[in-house]
Amino acid sequence: MKIKHIFFDFDGVLAESVNIKTEAFRQMYLSYGDAFAQRVVDHHLANGGMSRYEKFKLYNGEWLGEKLTEEKINELADIFSNLVFEGVVNAEEVLGSFDFLSTSGEYKKHIVTGTPTIEIKPILEKRKMTHFFVGIYGSPEKKDYWVREVLTKEAVDPKECVFVGDALADYDAAKKNNITFILRETKEAEELFKTYTGYRIKDMREFRGVLEQIENSL
């Protein structure tokens, strides 16, 4: 059986942009003290695939006790976006990413990210990557929602799909939809996935080989 659909997270899977967002969170909360900023960073790193909207509800709402309106959450999201946008646009690729994307027309490829949809689309446009993907999906909807939507719309067998990610939200989106997960190993993911025994890659140069392993096992 052949794989037909590939779901990609973006940060840490196709672009080396995880640290950019980590430092943006630190900068946003330094005014509350170093300890609080570090608490935010630690949570962010442990919940890499969680949308920034949900994180602001936790950090500003539960932890800081602020009354959060939708307007305030959007204001925080705009501040964060301004801090990270150019950095993500100019981030180095995960080795082998462009080569795989440009030579894999046999697969239908999707971006499923915690970054807002309205932000990830212009990022991909500036990186000249949009044409590689049949779908680009981000927050506020969660990753498992988008995977389920694609599976339903395309009427595709979950066995014919893989999800490549580096965060627990990626793993959960794959497992909730019964599709194979492939871990992209990063320093940030090392502790989170210390008991993980499934498929993994160091970078995208190894990806096609892992896909072949999966296809041969089906």
What is the per-residue pLDDT across 64-83, written as a single tens digit (0 to 9) for each?
999 999 999 999 999 999 99
pLDDT tens profile 106-136: 999 999 999 999 999 999 999 999 999 999 9
Q: What's residue 1's pLDDT?
A: 76
Q: What's residue 124's pLDDT?
A: 98
Neighbour tally for 216: CB within 10 Å: 8
Contact 171, 165 (CB under 8 A): yes
pLDDT tens profile 160-182: 999 999 999 999 999 999 999 99
Q: CA 189, 174, 15 angle in degrees (round to 5)? A: 45
Structure tokens at 181: 């997960």
Domain 5-15+93-217 part of CATH 3.40.50.1000 = yes
- Exposure of 89 in the CB half-sphere (CA atoms within 13 A): 13
Q: What's residue 49's pLDDT?
A: 75
**pLDDT surpasses 80 at 218:** no
| Sheet strands side by side (includes 135-139) | 135-139, 108-116, 5-8, 161-165, 180-184, 199-201
Q: What's residue 50's pLDDT?
A: 87
| Residue indicated by tokens 């180095």 | 92
- Do you find a cis peptide bond into 122, omega within 30 degrees of 0? no
Q: What's residue 188's pLDDT?
A: 83
pLDDT tens profile 38-56: 999 999 988 877 889 999 9
**pLDDT surpasses 90 at 91:** yes
Q: What's residue 175's pLDDT?
A: 97
Q: CA 203, 10, 114 angle in degrees (round to 5)? A: 140
Average pLDDT, the chain: 95
pLDDT tens profile 145-165: 999 999 999 999 999 999 999
CA distance 116 to 77: 9
CA distance 154 to 157: 9
Contact 162, 218 (CB under 8 A): no
Q: CA 175, 23, 164 angle in degrees (round to 5)? A: 25
Which residues of the chain form beta strands (DSSP E)? Answer: 5-8, 108-116, 135-139, 161-165, 180-184, 199-201
